[in-house]
Structure 1
Amino acid sequence: MIAIECLTYNPYQENTYVLYNEQKDCIIVDPGMHNAHEEQHFQSYIKENGLNPVLLLNTHCHVDHVLGNKCVYDNFGLLAQFHEGEIPVLMEVQNYAPQMGFNYQAAPIAEQFLLDKDIIKFGDDTLEAILAPGHSPAHLCFYSAKHNFLIGGDVLFRNSIGRTDLPGGNHTQLLQSITERIYTLPEKTTVYPGHGPSTTIGFEKTSNPFIQG
Structure 2
Amino acid sequence: MNWFPVPLGGLQTNCYVLYSEDRKCIIFDPGEEANKLINILSGKKLEPAAIMLTHAHFDHIGAVDPIRDRYRIPVYLHEREAKWLGDPALNGSGLFPVGPPVRVRHAEHLIKNEGRMELDGFEFDIFETPGHSPGSVSYYFSENGLVVSGDALFMGSIGRTDLPGGNEKELMKSIHSKLLSLPEDTIVLPGHGPVTTIEDEMDSNPFLHGFGSKP
Cα offset, 1:86, TM superposition: 1.1
Give 1:83 deviation, angstroms: 0.5
Q: Do 1:155 and 1:161's aligned partners in 2 also have CA atoms closer than 8 Å?
A: yes
Q: Is the 8 A contact 2:75 2:109 kept in 1?
A: no
For structure 1, the 5+ residue unaligned runs are none
Q: What's 1:181 paired with?
A: 178
SS of the aligned residue for 1:110 comes to coil
Which residue of 105, 109, 112 corresponds with 2:109? 112
> TM (normalized to structure 1)?
0.91
- Correspondence list, 1:115-130, <5 A: 115-130=112-127
Identify the residue that residue 166 of structure 2 maps to in structure 1. Answer: 169
User: Per the alignment, do residues 180 and 17 of structure 1 end up closer, same or farther by CA in structure 2, a change over 3 Å counting?
Assistant: same
Between the two proteins, the alignment pairs up a number of residues equal to 208
Deviates more, 1:186-195 or 1:106-115: 106-115
Q: Which is worse superposed, 184-193 or 95-104?
A: 95-104
Q: Which amino acid aligns with 1:18?
A: V
- Whole-angstrom CA distance in 2 between matches of 1:81 and 1:25: 17
Cα distance between partner residues in 1 of 2:100 and 2:70? 18
Greater Cα offset, 120-129 or 144-153? 120-129
Which is helix-richer, 1 or 2?
A: 1
Q: 2:206 corresponds to which residue?
A: 209
Shift of 1:200: 0.5
Contact (CA 8 Å) 2:82, 2:110: kept in 1 or not? no
Residues 104 and 26 (structure 1), Cα distance of their counterparts in 2 relative to 1, 3 Å cut: farther
Partners of 1:81 and 1:122 lie apart in 2 by: 11
- The yes-or-no answer on 1:20 pairing with 2:19 is yes
Aligned to 2:157: 160
Point out where structure 2 has 5 or more consecutive residues left out of the alignment: none
Given the alignment of the two structures, is residue 55 of structure 1 paired with residue 55 of structure 2, yes or no? Answer: no
Shift of 1:177: 0.6
Q: Percent identity between the aligned chains?
A: 34
The question of 1:7 aligning with 2:2 is answered no
Relative to structure 1, the CA distance from residue 157 to residue 210 in structure 2 (aligned partners, 3 Å threshold; closer, same or farther) is: same
Residues 78-127 of structure 1: per-residue CA shift (max 9 Å, x gap): 23201100124334327863663434563432343113323232444411
Aligned residue for 2:85, secondary structure, equals: helix
The amino acid that maps onto 1:28 is I
The more displaced of 189-198 and 116-125 is 116-125
Q: TM-score when scaled to structure 2?
A: 0.90
